[in-house]
Structure 1
Amino acid sequence: MSEEGPGSARDDAWFEALFRAHATAVFRYLVRRGAGDDAQDLAADVLATAWRRREDVPEGAELPWLYRTAAYVLANHRRKGRPVPVAEVSDEVDDASPEQLAVVDDEVRGVLAALSPRDRRILLLHAWEGLDGDGLAAVLGISRGGADAALSRARARLRAAWAARDDVPAG
């Protein structure tokens, strides 16, 4: 049996399966991170990187690898000085009044802003992307135990920051 080289039918099938399974998730990841109109191009860059580095993409952990690559691609994009639009507010209907939603949204943003960039990233990867355990570890480039501990610490700091917003000194 002959060994298949780069660009073989097996590689093509692998990439097609990767694309079908994860292209939309990568695109959404980039949109949520503020890539806006550039998200589609950046997602294509991420997938092109996966193709070039297909031997480095861990089997069974493709999506975390793609998310980590997307974070690097987006960081490089931002370093180039292109304007990155602010994420839009969701149009979803909620029972709360617009005023209540605005107050809560501001409070959540304020509490998240009080956290370190690493804690924010960990919490958002967990909440938005559904990553924990091995997936979170792969994206962060740390061990599973380290990822679990980092998520636990980030949650604790989030709880503390949320509680601190209610600690208004009596005047």
Structure 2
Amino acid sequence: MTDHDGPVPAADPAGRDRAWFEDLFTAHAGAVHRYFLRRAPRDDVEDLTADVLATAWRRRADLPEGHELPWLYRTAGFVLANHRRKGRPVPVESLPDDADGEYAADPADLVLADAQVSDALAALSDRDRHVLMLHAWEGLDGEELAAALGIGRGGAAAALSRARARLRSAWDERVTA
């Protein structure tokens, strides 16, 4: 049996069939979409989100049980990096357009409207910003942050601690300047 997505497996040994994917999509597509809204040009968000979800379908056997969202965020980071390598200008971190009001109530988004916070974040490395945003925006900590970064839990805790210290230092430089 086939459809527009290609052959549909009769039964995936891990139980990861179309129903599994629909559940994954329902649970996490919005989070992946918001991830890109904050990091990519608005015109590209739908395509980037679709790329991540298509990768999840193709590599469904690789998704760790119970850590699907961190895996999706990690994949989203790779998709965004590939997108940036294609030469498209991408802002460091994009504040979502609040014209539709869909995400404007998120305090993490509103904080970026503050010029001092934006300047402090811009002073950080891409890696530090990525770690902080996964923690602050996406709410990842502990095992989930480690899975999204592709490192151990101790390494993730250390990366978060270092990124916070560098943000604190960048903040102090801006408010005392």
Alpha-carbon distance in 2 for matches of 1:156, 1:31: 26
1:159 paired residue number: 168
Relative to structure 1, is the Cα distance of residues 152 and 47 closer, same or farther in structure 2, using a 3 angstrom cutoff?
same
Query: Which protein is richer in helix relative to its size?
Result: 1
1:82 shift after superposition: 3.4
Q: How does 1:40-51 map to 2 (within 5 A)?
A: 40-51=46-57
Relative to structure 1, is the Cα distance of residues 23 and 8 closer, same or farther in structure 2, using a 3 angstrom cutoff?
farther
Number of aligned positions between the proteins: 155
TM-score, normalised by the number of residues in structure 2: 0.78
2:6 aligned with 1:7? no
Q: CA RMSD in A?
A: 2.3
2:81 aligned with 1:75? yes
Relative to structure 1, is the Cα distance of residues 81 and 166 closer, same or farther in structure 2, using a 3 angstrom cutoff?
closer
| Aligned AA (1:108) | V
TM-score, normalised by the number of residues in structure 1: 0.80
Percent pairwise identity: 66
Relative to structure 1, is the Cα distance of residues 160 and 76 closer, same or farther in structure 2, using a 3 angstrom cutoff?
same
Q: Is the 8 A contact 1:36 1:84 kept in 2?
A: no
Relative to structure 1, is the Cα distance of residues 83 and 157 closer, same or farther in structure 2, using a 3 angstrom cutoff?
closer
Alpha-carbon distance in 2 for matches of 1:22, 1:65: 11
Bigger Rg, which one: 1
The secondary structure found in structure 2 opposite 1:63 is helix
Alpha-carbon distance in 2 for matches of 1:71, 1:17: 22
Alpha-carbon distance in 1 for matches of 2:171, 2:147: 28
1:35 to 38, 41, 48: 41
Relative to structure 1, is the Cα distance of residues 83 and 162 closer, same or farther in structure 2, using a 3 angstrom cutoff?
closer
| Aligned AA (1:138) | A
2:119 paired residue number: 110
The secondary structure found in structure 2 opposite 1:44 is helix
2:153 paired residue number: 144
Q: Deviations over 1:51-93 (max 9, x none)?
A: 1101101010000000111111122122223344764564659
1:162 shift after superposition: 1.2
The secondary structure found in structure 1 opposite 2:114 is helix
**Which structure 1 segments of 5+ residues have no match?**
1-5, 94-100
Relative to structure 1, is the Cα distance of residues 65 and 88 closer, same or farther in structure 2, using a 3 angstrom cutoff?
closer
Q: How does 1:92-111 map to 2 (within 5 A)?
A: 105-111=114-120
1:167 shift after superposition: 3.0
1:35 shift after superposition: 3.4
